[in-house]
A and B are shown apart, each in its own frame.
Chain A
């Protein structure tokens, strides 16, 4: 089903639209939310959404859409909102995005659509993410969502990993009539959306709703399958009869810093810290069996400046940490986290120790962390990433007392599939090589996308790869051409 645009219902001329202020997202008070795991953002009301949508300049060549990794038709869905047809708007988004309730919450819009909104040249950009979130939440509340009816093609596709890229491939392909089965290593579906992103940023209920919708569309899921161990790619294709495989296994192994004291009790990788909280619900111990360190009244720090780092330290704060630091070796301008997350973290009282780098974790003498020794940094010449390289300032060492330190400095490739799939070519870092246009690997019928190809990136970039992969898998299955 394709929603048709009714043309502009916007009564305002562009001059008037520019004068309208960007509608702020209603959010929980910082003092309150710092003590709970309920979502920070509360969502637009229909009135706020209409008001915000009126600001859209309805550009003839919408740059917002051109910069969306999955190509959401922003202008058109916003026009539906202006016209008061919220369900039409949601349907328009779904033509290109199978997980809009998720991207509306976690996508770094400032790097994509909003970053290229014409308004942003003079005034704040259109709140595209907020609008996307509003219409998909509205659609969920109304409980009406159309299920596409398509004739089956008889082709079967195995998808490895139920994170953003895998779910996108599954959603796109099932709508083309292919039989799709998603394999997940963990006991819960959703990948990083479930184990990585905390409840206060992306409620698990939202993911459950998306998964229910996919099940209703006919997507099959199997948990507790570690592809590469439980079953190999070759076995899936040769013995289980899958015509194509998509590998979307995600970021893989957490990196450590290789500084003294990393084995002390109280030092975590961000993946472990967040998995204990989000997936295993360790913060509800003893109602849930998985334990974690009691953070009440203790000082905690995260090392790193990405979304994962902020997710970890804001979780620590919510679990009762007395002081909560972000230790980041560059300055705020280079921080890879979403702008909104950094703003929220500051409001909640997170202490940013910028241009600071840990050199050693300190022990209490009994195997537990007691602090971290840091050195102050200054920015030098730009490095390979184009960002100015941080250089230590001699003699600036200082100690920060801590009970918990979380390391969030990135990940490296998990080799489990690569090492059990002969002929699957990887790059120097062990990431699977896939051509950026069609996401094809070196093995016929095997596609890959997301962090296992690019290294740590974002939900929306993984979804973009999934989208491209789904298109080329469909081409491959219908033409047989590789």
Chain B
């Protein structure tokens, strides 16, 4: 049983949690993730760790409501608990003095990129961060990322905040302006990571992406999270989650992530229907 010590909404449908998990807090390194199961009948889902406080024995995660489990998780508050939290899993990000590093965060990927950006900055790199979001309200971790970046750029799809466009527009600009880039780290939706990798491939800029395929145990036992990297099967949970973006087969990743789409939609619909029924029967309005 893992206690939620703090929960706050940081954007529409996005919540940040601080969870009491002393063993994990002690060992967590940037780039690693946890797997959680909220309740007895729940599924196990992986979530990248957005930070930890070893002294307080806590970790923080940022969760976007997508399916049933994330919607259920985001309905929890401080004082509630999560049945199982296991980690830290996966290999930590490689932290070294590369030179100039561009950190690209899309959506909640921004929160996941934050610990690595901070570590890269501490390791003496020049950090240029690019945050991408659909719209103004969904821009998260701006203050945090600004504090660890030499340069921070923001794009929104609809232009409601900062510059209208995509993260790849900014990255392309940097390349065209002749900014020497030694490493690109991209964390976010698969389409974004694929676009970033396609852009940097021709420029021969080393690009690391963080993959989040369907997972069960997270220890290498089930092989469900296998991804095709350089034509070979790799397990995201033990060989990753970070891989060379130029070698990842994003089509296979997208296809495998769609495997349970129908079941996921059904789960979510039933959950939302049930939630509405609860609100009505308890007489609660808005």
A residues contacting B by CB (< 8 A) are 185-187, 195, 223-226, 229-231, 250-254, 256, 258, 262-263, 265, 268-269, 271-272, 275-276, 279-281, 285-293, 367, 414-416
Does any Cβ of A come within 8 Å of B69's Cβ? yes
Q: Which of A250, A251, A265, A415 contacts B259 (CB 8 A)?
A: A265
**A287 contacts B238, CB within 8 Å?**
no
B residues contacting A by CB (< 8 A) are 23-24, 27, 37, 41-44, 68-69, 83-89, 216-224, 226, 228, 233, 235, 238, 249, 252, 255-256, 258-260, 263-264, 266-267, 270
Q: Which residues of B contact A415 (CB under 8 A)?
A: 238
Ranked nearest first, the 9 interchain pairs of A and B with the lowest CB-CB distance are A291-B263, A367-B255, A272-B222, A269-B223, A289-B43, A290-B43, A224-B86, A187-B84, A291-B260
A–B complex contacts, Cβ < 8 Å, 8 sampled:
A185-B217, A224-B86, A230-B86, A253-B221, A265-B255, A271-B221, A272-B216, A276-B216
**B233 contacts A256, CB within 8 Å?**
yes
Residue of A with least CB distance to B222: A272
Could you tell me the distance between the alpha carbons of A80 and B88 in the complex, rounded to whole angstroms?
51
**A254 contacts B41, CB within 8 Å?**
no
Q: Which of B83, B85, B88, B252 contacts A229 (CB 8 A)?
A: B88
Q: Which of A185, A254, A290 contacts B223 (CB 8 A)?
A: A254
**A187 contacts B86, CB within 8 Å?**
yes
Q: Which residues of B contact A224 (CB under 8 A)?
A: 84-86
Q: Which of B23, B68, B226 contacts A231 (CB 8 A)?
A: B23
**B216 contacts A280, CB within 8 Å?**
yes
Residue from B69, B217, B258, B264 having most chain A Cβ neighbours under 10 A: B217
**A263 contacts B219, CB within 8 Å?**
no
**A226 contacts B87, CB within 8 Å?**
yes
Could you tell me the distance between the alpha carbons of A266 and B88 in the complex, rounded to whole angstroms?
29
**B260 contacts A287, CB within 8 Å?**
no
**A254 contacts B222, CB within 8 Å?**
yes
Q: Which residues of B contact A187 (CB under 8 A)?
A: 37, 44, 83-84, 86
**B223 contacts A271, CB within 8 Å?**
yes
Residue of B with least CB distance to A274: B222
Residue of B with least CB distance to A228: B219
With A187-B83, A253-B220 known as contacts, the answer to whether A263 contacts B263 (CB < 8 A) is no
Q: Which residues of A contact B216 (CB under 8 A)?
A: 272, 275-276, 279-280, 290
**A275 contacts B263, CB within 8 Å?**
no
Q: Which of B37, B87, B217 contacts A275 (CB 8 A)?
A: B217
Residue of B with least CB distance to A281: B41
Residue of B with least CB distance to A253: B220
Query: Distance (Å) between the CB of B234 and the closest chain A CB?
Result: 11
Q: Which residues of A contact B222 (CB under 8 A)?
A: 254, 269, 271-272, 275
Q: Which residues of B contact A293 (CB under 8 A)?
A: 259
**B41 contacts A287, CB within 8 Å?**
yes
Could you tell me the distance between the alpha carbons of A292 and B262 in the complex, rounded to whole angstroms?
10
With A263-B228, A290-B44 known as contacts, the answer to whether A275 contacts B27 (CB < 8 A) is no
Q: Which residues of A contact B256 (CB under 8 A)?
A: 263, 265, 367
Q: Which residues of B contact A287 (CB under 8 A)?
A: 41
Could you tell me the distance between the alpha carbons of A230 and B42 in the complex, rounded to whole angstroms?
22
**A225 contacts B263, CB within 8 Å?**
no
Query: Distance (Å) between the CB of B29 and the closest chain A CB?
Result: 10
Query: Distance (Å) between the CB of B126 and the closest chain A CB?
Result: 31
With A280-B43, A281-B41 known as contacts, the answer to whether A289 contacts B267 (CB < 8 A) is yes
**B86 contacts A225, CB within 8 Å?**
yes
**B27 contacts A229, CB within 8 Å?**
yes
Query: Distance (Å) between the CB of B25 and the closest chain A CB?
Result: 11
Q: Which residues of B contact A229 (CB under 8 A)?
A: 27, 87-89, 219
**A269 contacts B224, CB within 8 Å?**
yes
Could you tell me the distance between the alpha carbons of A288 and B249 in the complex, rounded to whole angstroms?
31
Could you tell me the distance between the alpha carbons of A415 and B238 in the complex, rounded to whole angstroms?
9
Q: Which of A231, A275, A280 contacts B221 (CB 8 A)?
A: A275
Q: Which residues of B contact A185 (CB under 8 A)?
A: 86, 217, 219
Could you tell me the distance between the alpha carbons of A258 and B224 in the complex, rounded to whole angstroms?
15
Query: Distance (Å) between the CB of A10 and the closest chain B CB?
Result: 47
**B217 contacts A414, CB within 8 Å?**
no
Query: Distance (Å) between the CB of A363 and the closest chain B CB?
Result: 10
**A230 contacts B87, CB within 8 Å?**
yes
Could you tell me the distance between the alpha carbons of A262 and B263 in the complex, rounded to whole angstroms?
22
Could you tell me the distance between the alpha carbons of A253 and B222 in the complex, rounded to whole angstroms?
7
Could you tell me the distance between the alpha carbons of A276 and B249 in the complex, rounded to whole angstroms?
25
Could you tell me the distance between the alpha carbons of A132 and B37 in the complex, rounded to whole angstroms?
37
Q: Which residues of B contact A186 (CB under 8 A)?
A: 217
Residue of A with least CB distance to B266: A286
With A230-B87, A291-B263 known as contacts, the answer to whether A253 contacts B44 (CB < 8 A) is no
Q: Which residues of A contact B23 (CB under 8 A)?
A: 225, 230-231
Q: Which residues of A contact B86 (CB under 8 A)?
A: 185, 187, 224-226, 230
Residue from A225, A280, A414 having most chain B Cβ neighbours under 10 A: A280
Q: Which residues of A contact B235 (CB under 8 A)?
A: 253
Could you tell me the distance between the alpha carbons of A186 and B87 in the complex, rounded to whole angstroms?
11
Q: Which residues of A contact B221 (CB under 8 A)?
A: 195, 250-254, 271, 275, 414
**B83 contacts A414, CB within 8 Å?**
no
Could you tell me the distance between the alpha carbons of A279 and B224 in the complex, rounded to whole angstroms?
14
Q: Which residues of A contact B238 (CB under 8 A)?
A: 253, 414-416
Could you tell me the distance between the alpha carbons of A282 and B233 in the complex, rounded to whole angstroms?
25
Q: Which of A289, A291, A414, A416 contacts B42 (CB 8 A)?
A: A289
Q: Which residues of A contact B258 (CB under 8 A)?
A: 265, 367
Q: Which of B84, B260, B270 contacts A223 (CB 8 A)?
A: B84
Could you tell me the distance between the alpha carbons of A268 and B233 in the complex, rounded to whole angstroms?
13
Residue of A with least CB distance to B253: A263
Query: Distance (Å) between the CB of B44 and the closest chain A CB?
Result: 7
Q: Which residues of B contact A280 (CB under 8 A)?
A: 43-44, 216
Could you tell me the distance between the alpha carbons of A280 and B41 in the complex, rounded to whole angstroms?
8
With A281-B41, A291-B263, A416-B238 known as contacts, the answer to whether A230 contacts B24 (CB < 8 A) is yes
Query: Distance (Å) between the CB of A153 and the closest chain B CB?
Result: 27
Could you tell me the distance between the alpha carbons of A301 and B39 in the complex, rounded to whole angstroms?
33
Could you tell me the distance between the alpha carbons of A281 and B43 in the complex, rounded to whole angstroms?
9
Residue from B84, B218, B221, B270 having most chain A Cβ neighbours under 10 A: B221
Q: Which residues of B contact A268 (CB under 8 A)?
A: 224
Could you tell me the distance between the alpha carbons of A251 and B87 in the complex, rounded to whole angstroms?
20
Q: Which residues of B contact A291 (CB under 8 A)?
A: 43, 260, 263-264, 267
Q: Which residues of A contact B27 (CB under 8 A)?
A: 229-231
Could you tell me the distance between the alpha carbons of A237 and B87 in the complex, rounded to whole angstroms?
20
Could you tell me the distance between the alpha carbons of A252 and B223 in the complex, rounded to whole angstroms?
10
Could you tell me the distance between the alpha carbons of A326 and B158 in the complex, rounded to whole angstroms?
54
Q: Which residues of B contact A230 (CB under 8 A)?
A: 23-24, 27, 86-88
Q: Which residues of A contact B84 (CB under 8 A)?
A: 187, 223-224
Residue from A263, A281, A292, A416 having most chain B Cβ neighbours under 10 A: A263
